[in-house]
Every structure is written in structure tokens, then in C-alpha cells.
Amino acid sequence: MAKYKAAITGIGGFVPETKLTNFDLEKMVETNDEWIVSRTGIKERRIFREPGKASSDMATYAVKELLEKTGTNPEEIDVVICATVTPDMQFPDTANTIALKIGAKNAWGFDLGAACSGFLFGLTTGSRFIESGAYKKVLVIGVDMMSSIINYKDRTTCILFGDGAGCVLLEPSKNEYGFEDADLHGDGSGAKFLNMKAGGSLHPASEDTVKNRDHYVFQDGRPVFKAAVSGMRATTLKVLNRNNITKDDIDWVVPHQANMRIINSLADYLEVPKEKVMTNIERYGNTTAATLPLCLWDYEKKLSKGDKLIFTAFGGGFTWGTVYLTWSYDSN
């Protein structure tokens, strides 16, 4: 048995002001608004264009909002977990850069690179830290500046991704609500379908990797779509059955914002009405590790103490999973 139950006690978010609409993309690649909306549900995405700034800066904006809303002193933060595939640099960890920028002088931190499942994995990891009794305040951040690794001449990927950051504060629950259960998975055989080939130790940066555009996201959409639908369905069903939850018990489904068809497929499979499914993909696109916390950020005022939330995501590699959480405070 866990010593404590971990609860989300605050949310912060940030999306850049600059919008990249489908009509903007029509001028860049062979596509159009109707084609993009019908296949993805995306109408626009946000692009971070502040000279000399990076993922840590978006995360810092989000965290500072959270700290102000919750009245939290940054020096009280024990751990910073940053889920991202677009770190400022290979090292040091972006988590430690964020800690410096927010004034979390007493925190240690690390990056978690599970792609679109990153926040889900980070939420589970941070909750375990709280449950152990070793830490009292853990920041879990999902941030990605996908515009930095997207080829805007590749219509299979450039229509999908945007930039953004979201974060939550985890603390020991003051009631019976909080983190309840998780089912997480990984399958390295999926790497060939969704990856960024160069920049690591296998293919270090070189003239050839730059020339071959190997530092951009590559995606083979069809197998990724099929794996996402089946993976998210299976892991969600497992968590529901393990916790004796029916469709009528669910207050909110918080799905990764990769594709509206995937989201609708999951909602139909669970027989959950669309009004119980958090979506903002039409405005932000796929912000990778930031999609789940940005959903919470957008819907926070609609959440009530005791609400049952089901989070589920699927990411490159492949990675996927589901988290079941009960909401710990009245957000209004």
C-alpha cells in the first residue's frame, strides 16, 4: 500500500500567440483546409517564435502561471519532471533549466522522452514519488516545440504538429481523491514507423544527415493510426475493468490529441458521449507531450472534486498507456 495518495493540486499552461492555420499551410505544401480537417480535425496550430528561446521558456511560462494560481513558493518544489522530445539541448536536462528559470533552487529533475505518452509516464512517475512519502511537491511538465523538428515541405507531418506547454503540481492528497491506477506499455518494434533518425548516437549529426533531412520527424501514418486505436482501446479497457468502472462512472476522458478520428473511435468504443471527452486539437494540433496537460488547462473550470478522469495516450516508439485519476479539488 502507498504511504500517501498523490493528487493534482494545480494546473498551468502556455500556447504561443502565433497561429499557423490550414490556409497558411496551403501556401507551403500541396494540401487544403478541407482535406486536413476531414482527416485530422485540426484547423490551426500554434508556433513558438521568440528569438533565442526554446522549450524551457514555454514550460517556464506555464509553470509560473501554476505557481501564481496555487500560491506555491518555487523553493518548495522537490522534483521537476519534464516530458519532451524537443529538449533545449541534448544535455543538460531541460528539467534542470526550467528549475533554474522558475527559481526552484531545492529541486532536482530529469527529462522523460516517451514522445506523446511522455506526460502520462511522467504523471505516473511523479505520483509514485509522492506515494513513497519521499517528496511533497512534484512538478510534471509536458512541453514540445515541434516546429523545431518538423519539415514544412512534408505534408504528412507538418499539418499535424504544434507547439505548447502544460504542467501540473502533484502533492499528497488531503482527501480520498487522486492518482488511482496506471497501465503503461512500450514496444520498440514500432520505431520504424515514427521516429527522428538523426541526432543520436546511432546517426550523429553530419553533413549527410542534414542533407537527407534526417533531423525531422518521420511518420508512416497508417500503421501508427492502427496501433494507436488498438493500443489506447486495450489499455483503457484494462484499467476500467481492473477498477470496476463502467461508462456511466466516467466523468471525463482525456485523450492524446493526435487525430480527431482516433479520439472519436475511442469515445465510440467506450460508449462515452462526446461532451465528456476533452478536445482542443482543432486549435492546437498535436503538441506531443503537452496535449494532456493542455486539455486539463482548457477544461479546468469544468472539473469538480471527485470527478473520475481517464487519461490515455499513444506515442512514437511505440509507447502507450492509460491513467485513472479522481479529481481532488473544485476548480471553480
Does 256 qualify as catalytic in the annotation? yes
Check residue 147 and report its DSSP letter: G
Residue 169: φ, ψ to 5°: -105, 125
Of the candidates 22, 82, 96, 116, the residue annotated as catalytic is 116
Does 215 qualify as catalytic in the annotation? no
Can you say whether residue 254 is alpha, beta or left, with left for phi > 0 and alpha for psi between -120 and 50 degrees?
beta
Where is 249: in which H helix or E strand? none
Does 286 qualify as catalytic in the annotation? yes
Question: In 3-state terms, what secondary structure has residue 124?
Answer: helix
For the chain, count helices (H), then strands (E). 11, 13
| Strands, E assignment, 50-162 | 79-83, 108-112, 138-145
The position carrying cell 480537417 is 37
Of the candidates 158, 256, 259, 295, the residue annotated as catalytic is 256
User: What would the grid cell of residue 121 be?
Assistant: 509516464
**Strands 108-112 vs 138-145: parallel, antiparallel or unpaired:** unpaired
The position carrying cell 518538423 is 150
Of the candidates 22, 96, 259, 286, the residue annotated as catalytic is 286
Angle, CA 86 vertex, CA 42 and CA 188 arms, to 5°: 85
Catalytic residues: 116, 256, 286
